[in-house]
Amino acid sequence: MAELHVILATTLDAYVAGEDGSLDWIVMGDDRAEYMVASLDWADTLMLGRKSYQSFMGFRALADDPNASEVERTIGKRFNAMRKVVYSTTLGEPEWEGTEVYRDIVPADVERIKQESERGVRLDGSISVVQRLTALRLIDQYHLMVHPTAIGRGRPLFVERVELELTGSRPLDSGVVVLSYRPASAG
């Protein structure tokens, strides 16, 4: 069975957004872009909440845009080719090819999606989906891009205690450190 990978940017104090939803603390750079492109190899399925889905749809047109950067075109092509699973109670008919809309997070559905995937399922952004799947213990790996900024308050990554085991760390030239974790074994 394929694994479900969460890929998220966080602040040093584990917030995924400011109180107003701001992401102005995110450090962009070539090394982060290279990491994001390389991480596309882990999955053939993209899992998102509605807001992230609507934001990520911007990559759809970039796949063939000669004015887009090579990174943007690569991400656009890869996202376009992926199966897209969106959790939303309000999204109507999806506009992006290969998109399936689920109204509720049902553990059996998530397990089936993982079984149907050949390479893996990638969950980007969509913090409410991450928090729900964390509570249901359905996430196999967390890849946290920890940015060298603390904001003091905002939207937290975790809303309950979660025991994790570090499986890797990778510092980027930009000061971002990618920390990879698995849920800790019970016992």
In this predicted model, what pLDDT tens digit does every residue of 117-141 receive, in sequence order?
999 999 998 899 999 999 999 999 9
Sign of the C-alpha dihedral, residues 147, 152, 158, 160? Answer: positive
Domains of the chain by start residue, with CATH: 4-183 (3.40.430.10)
Dist CA 178 CA 42 (whole Å): 15
Query: Mean pLDDT, the chain, as a whole number?
Result: 93
pLDDT over 70, % of the chain: 99
For residue 13, which phi and psi values (nearest 5 degrees)? -95, 25
Q: What is the average pLDDT across 78-93?
A: 95
pTM: 0.91
pLDDT over threshold 80, residue 187: no
User: What is the per-residue pLDDT across 148-170, written as a single tens digit (0 to 9) for each?
Assistant: 999 999 999 999 999 999 999 99
Average pLDDT in the 178-184 region? 96
For residue 176 the two structure tokens come to: 């971002």
pLDDT at 30: 82
Distance CA 143, CA 146 (A): 9
Output helix, strand, coil percentages for the chain, rounded to the nearest 5. Answer: 30, 25, 45
- The reported pLDDT for the residue numbered 186 is 58
Q: Give the pLDDT of residue 36.
A: 86
Whether 86 shows a pLDDT value over 80: the answer reads yes
CA–CA gap between residue 105 and residue 22 (Å, rounded): 26
pLDDT over threshold 90, residue 34? no
